A and B are shown apart, each in its own frame.
Chain A
Amino acid sequence: EVQLVESGGTLVQPGGSLRLSCAASGLTFRTYWMSWVRQAPGKGLEWVANIKVDGSEKNYVDSVKGRFTISRDNAKNSLYLQMNSLRAEDTAVYYCATAGWTLDVYWGQGTLVTVSS
Protein backbone atom coordinates (compact mmCIF):
# COMPACT_ATOMS: atom_id res chain seq x y z
CA GLU A 1 0.00 0.00 0.00
CA VAL A 2 1.32 3.42 -0.96
CA GLN A 3 1.57 5.92 1.87
CA LEU A 4 2.62 9.55 1.81
CA VAL A 5 2.78 11.01 5.30
CA GLU A 6 3.31 14.73 5.76
CA SER A 7 4.57 16.34 8.94
CA GLY A 8 5.87 19.65 10.20
CA GLY A 9 2.78 21.82 9.96
CA THR A 10 2.16 24.18 12.87
CA LEU A 11 1.35 27.75 13.86
CA VAL A 12 4.07 30.20 12.82
CA GLN A 13 4.33 33.97 12.93
CA PRO A 14 4.40 36.09 9.78
CA GLY A 15 7.95 36.29 8.47
CA GLY A 16 8.85 32.99 10.06
CA SER A 17 10.14 29.75 8.57
CA LEU A 18 8.96 26.18 8.54
CA ARG A 19 10.10 22.91 6.99
CA LEU A 20 7.55 20.35 5.90
CA SER A 21 8.44 16.71 5.37
CA CYS A 22 6.75 13.90 3.46
CA ALA A 23 7.72 10.29 4.12
CA ALA A 24 6.92 7.89 1.28
CA SER A 25 6.47 4.14 1.40
CA GLY A 26 5.03 1.44 -0.83
CA LEU A 27 6.28 3.00 -4.07
CA THR A 28 9.63 3.33 -5.84
CA PHE A 29 10.05 6.89 -4.67
CA ARG A 30 13.13 7.65 -6.76
CA THR A 31 11.16 7.11 -9.99
CA TYR A 32 8.43 9.67 -9.27
CA TRP A 33 8.27 13.40 -9.83
CA MET A 34 6.88 14.77 -6.57
CA SER A 35 4.70 17.79 -5.83
CA TRP A 36 3.43 19.96 -3.02
CA VAL A 37 -0.17 21.14 -3.36
CA ARG A 38 -1.93 23.41 -0.87
CA GLN A 39 -5.49 24.27 0.03
CA ALA A 40 -6.37 27.45 1.89
CA PRO A 41 -9.36 27.23 4.23
CA GLY A 42 -12.56 26.92 2.20
CA LYS A 43 -10.69 27.24 -1.10
CA GLY A 44 -9.63 24.99 -3.95
CA LEU A 45 -6.41 23.15 -4.66
CA GLU A 46 -3.33 25.14 -5.62
CA TRP A 47 -0.13 23.59 -6.96
CA VAL A 48 2.91 24.94 -5.08
CA ALA A 49 6.04 23.19 -6.36
CA ASN A 50 7.38 20.02 -7.93
CA ILE A 51 10.71 18.28 -8.27
CA LYS A 52 12.17 15.88 -10.80
CA VAL A 53 13.08 12.30 -9.89
CA ASP A 54 16.75 13.16 -9.27
CA GLY A 55 16.20 16.68 -7.95
CA SER A 56 17.76 18.28 -11.01
CA GLU A 57 14.66 20.31 -11.90
CA LYS A 58 12.41 22.26 -9.56
CA ASN A 59 9.37 24.34 -10.44
CA TYR A 60 7.35 26.78 -8.33
CA VAL A 61 4.13 28.77 -8.51
CA ASP A 62 4.97 32.47 -8.84
CA SER A 63 3.61 33.39 -5.39
CA VAL A 64 6.25 31.29 -3.58
CA LYS A 65 9.28 31.79 -5.81
CA GLY A 66 12.25 32.97 -3.80
CA ARG A 67 10.60 32.02 -0.50
CA PHE A 68 9.97 28.27 -0.75
CA THR A 69 12.43 25.52 -1.66
CA ILE A 70 11.47 21.97 -2.58
CA SER A 71 13.98 19.17 -2.10
CA ARG A 72 14.11 15.40 -1.82
CA ASP A 73 16.28 12.64 -0.39
CA ASN A 74 15.78 9.47 -2.39
CA ALA A 75 17.87 7.45 0.05
CA LYS A 76 15.36 8.32 2.77
CA ASN A 77 12.26 8.21 0.52
CA SER A 78 11.47 11.73 1.65
CA LEU A 79 10.26 15.00 0.19
CA TYR A 80 10.69 18.40 1.83
CA LEU A 81 9.39 21.95 1.54
CA GLN A 82 11.40 24.72 3.19
CA MET A 83 9.16 27.73 3.64
CA ASN A 84 10.68 31.11 4.51
CA SER A 85 9.24 34.61 4.85
CA LEU A 86 5.84 33.14 5.53
CA ARG A 87 2.75 35.27 4.98
CA ALA A 88 -0.83 35.02 6.18
CA GLU A 89 -1.87 33.96 2.68
CA ASP A 90 0.35 30.87 2.97
CA THR A 91 -2.06 29.50 5.58
CA ALA A 92 -3.30 26.20 4.16
CA VAL A 93 -3.27 22.45 4.35
CA TYR A 94 -0.19 21.29 2.45
CA TYR A 95 -0.40 17.99 0.60
CA CYS A 96 2.43 15.88 -0.72
CA ALA A 97 1.56 14.05 -3.95
CA THR A 98 3.11 12.36 -6.92
CA ALA A 99 3.00 14.70 -9.91
CA GLY A 100 -0.22 14.81 -11.89
CA TRP A 101 1.20 13.28 -15.06
CA THR A 102 2.38 10.09 -13.37
CA LEU A 103 0.32 7.06 -14.29
CA ASP A 104 -0.63 6.50 -10.67
CA VAL A 105 -1.19 9.65 -8.62
CA TYR A 106 -0.97 9.35 -4.87
CA TRP A 107 -1.88 11.94 -2.24
CA GLY A 108 -0.87 12.30 1.40
CA GLN A 109 -3.32 13.22 4.15
CA GLY A 110 -1.99 16.77 4.49
CA THR A 111 -0.45 18.94 7.19
CA LEU A 112 -1.85 22.28 8.35
CA VAL A 113 0.27 25.41 8.28
CA THR A 114 -1.16 28.46 10.01
CA VAL A 115 0.60 31.80 9.65
CA SER A 116 -0.65 34.22 12.27
CA SER A 117 0.58 36.49 15.01
Chain B
Amino acid sequence: QPVLTQSSSASASLGSSVKLTCTLSSGHSTYIIAWHQQQPGKAPRYLMRLESSGGYKKGSGVPYRFSGSSSGADRYLTISNLQSEDEADYYCETWDNNIQVFGGGTKVTVL
Protein backbone atom coordinates (compact mmCIF):
# COMPACT_ATOMS: atom_id res chain seq x y z
CA GLN B 1 0.00 0.00 0.00
CA PRO B 2 1.15 3.55 -0.60
CA VAL B 3 2.40 5.66 2.29
CA LEU B 4 1.91 9.42 2.38
CA THR B 5 4.43 11.60 4.22
CA GLN B 6 3.62 15.13 5.37
CA SER B 7 5.54 17.63 7.47
CA SER B 8 3.95 18.03 10.89
CA SER B 9 3.71 21.80 10.81
CA ALA B 10 4.08 24.93 8.72
CA SER B 11 3.61 28.60 9.38
CA ALA B 12 3.39 31.79 7.38
CA SER B 13 2.28 35.36 7.83
CA LEU B 14 -1.19 36.69 7.13
CA GLY B 15 -1.44 37.61 3.44
CA SER B 16 1.59 35.56 2.40
CA SER B 17 1.74 32.11 0.80
CA VAL B 18 2.49 28.67 2.16
CA LYS B 19 3.25 25.48 0.21
CA LEU B 20 2.50 22.12 1.80
CA THR B 21 4.06 18.88 0.62
CA CYS B 22 2.69 15.36 0.52
CA THR B 23 5.19 12.72 -0.62
CA LEU B 24 4.14 9.38 -2.04
CA SER B 25 6.18 6.31 -1.20
CA SER B 26 8.43 4.56 -3.69
CA GLY B 27 6.56 2.89 -6.52
CA HIS B 28 3.52 5.10 -6.13
CA SER B 29 4.73 8.34 -7.69
CA THR B 30 1.96 8.44 -10.31
CA TYR B 31 -0.92 8.20 -7.85
CA ILE B 32 -3.72 10.72 -7.66
CA ILE B 33 -4.29 12.28 -4.26
CA ALA B 34 -6.93 14.38 -2.55
CA TRP B 35 -6.33 17.28 -0.17
CA HIS B 36 -8.63 17.90 2.80
CA GLN B 37 -8.75 20.76 5.28
CA GLN B 38 -9.83 20.42 8.91
CA GLN B 39 -10.34 23.64 10.83
CA PRO B 40 -10.16 23.41 14.65
CA GLY B 41 -13.15 21.59 16.12
CA LYS B 42 -14.74 20.98 12.72
CA ALA B 43 -15.21 18.09 10.33
CA PRO B 44 -12.81 17.72 7.42
CA ARG B 45 -13.59 19.50 4.16
CA TYR B 46 -12.56 18.34 0.72
CA LEU B 47 -10.33 20.78 -1.14
CA MET B 48 -9.21 19.15 -4.36
CA ARG B 49 -8.15 16.17 -6.38
CA LEU B 50 -4.56 16.40 -7.66
CA GLU B 51 -3.00 14.31 -10.41
CA SER B 52 0.63 13.47 -11.08
CA SER B 53 0.55 15.84 -14.07
CA GLY B 54 -0.19 18.71 -11.70
CA GLY B 55 -3.74 19.05 -12.94
CA TYR B 56 -6.25 19.54 -10.20
CA LYS B 57 -9.98 19.91 -9.70
CA LYS B 58 -11.25 21.77 -6.67
CA GLY B 59 -14.35 21.03 -4.70
CA SER B 60 -17.37 23.25 -4.69
CA GLY B 61 -16.82 26.58 -2.98
CA VAL B 62 -13.08 26.17 -2.44
CA PRO B 63 -11.50 29.63 -2.64
CA TYR B 64 -9.34 30.65 -5.58
CA ARG B 65 -6.27 31.05 -3.33
CA PHE B 66 -6.00 27.25 -2.97
CA SER B 67 -4.06 25.54 -5.76
CA GLY B 68 -2.27 22.29 -6.40
CA SER B 69 0.85 21.15 -8.25
CA SER B 70 3.02 18.05 -8.57
CA SER B 71 6.66 17.10 -9.10
CA GLY B 72 7.61 13.43 -9.21
CA ALA B 73 6.33 11.79 -6.04
CA ASP B 74 5.56 15.11 -4.40
CA ARG B 75 2.11 16.65 -4.34
CA TYR B 76 1.74 20.24 -3.25
CA LEU B 77 -1.00 22.40 -1.85
CA THR B 78 -0.33 26.12 -2.08
CA ILE B 79 -2.40 28.62 -0.15
CA SER B 80 -1.92 32.16 -1.41
CA ASN B 81 -2.96 35.35 0.37
CA LEU B 82 -3.16 33.42 3.63
CA GLN B 83 -6.20 34.23 5.77
CA SER B 84 -6.82 33.59 9.45
CA GLU B 85 -9.44 30.98 8.62
CA ASP B 86 -6.79 28.97 6.76
CA GLU B 87 -5.26 28.03 10.11
CA ALA B 88 -6.10 24.34 10.11
CA ASP B 89 -4.83 20.82 9.66
CA TYR B 90 -4.34 19.67 6.08
CA TYR B 91 -4.43 16.02 5.11
CA CYS B 92 -3.57 14.29 1.87
CA GLU B 93 -5.23 11.03 0.90
CA THR B 94 -4.70 8.42 -1.74
CA TRP B 95 -6.04 4.97 -2.60
CA ASP B 96 -4.91 1.69 -4.08
CA ASN B 97 -7.23 -1.18 -5.03
CA ASN B 98 -9.99 0.64 -3.13
CA ILE B 99 -7.94 0.81 0.08
CA GLN B 100 -7.70 4.39 1.31
CA VAL B 101 -4.68 5.94 3.02
CA PHE B 102 -4.25 9.29 4.75
CA GLY B 103 -1.08 11.20 5.43
CA GLY B 104 -0.32 12.26 8.99
CA GLY B 105 -1.44 15.83 8.38
CA THR B 106 0.23 19.24 8.45
CA LYS B 107 -0.80 21.88 10.96
CA VAL B 108 -0.74 25.34 9.41
CA THR B 109 -0.33 28.34 11.70
CA VAL B 110 -1.07 31.84 10.46
CA LEU B 111 1.29 34.32 12.07
Contacts and interface: CB of A to CB of B under 8 A. Distances in A.
Interface string A27-65: 000000101010000001111001010000101000000
A52 B99 CA distance: 12
A105 B100 contact: no
Contact of A44 (B32, B94, B98, B102): B102
B98 A100 contact: no
A44 B95 contact: no
Contact of A45 (B45, B94, B95, B102): B102
Nearest to B47: A105
Place the interface of chain A in its size category: 20 to 34
Contacts of B34: 100-101, 105
Nearest to B34: A100
A45 B91 contact: yes
Given A107-B46, A109-B43, A59 B98 contact: yes
A103 B95 contact: no
B44 A95 contact: yes
B79 to A, nearest CB: 19
Given A50-B98, A103-B57, A104-B59, 10 more contacts: A44-B89, A45-B38, A45-B91, A45-B93, A47-B101, A52-B98, A59-B99, A99-B95, A99-B100, A105-B34
B75 interface: no
A8 interface: no
A100 B93 contact: yes
B102 A47 contact: yes
A108 B34 CA distance: 17
B54 interface: no
Contacts of B26: none
Contacts of A50: 98, 100
Contacts of A35: 100
- Listed residue (A35, A46, A107) with the most chain B CB atoms within 10 angstroms of its CB: A107
B99 A100 contact: no
Contacts of A107: 36, 43-46
Interface in B31-79: 32, 34, 36, 38, 43-46, 49, 57, 59-60
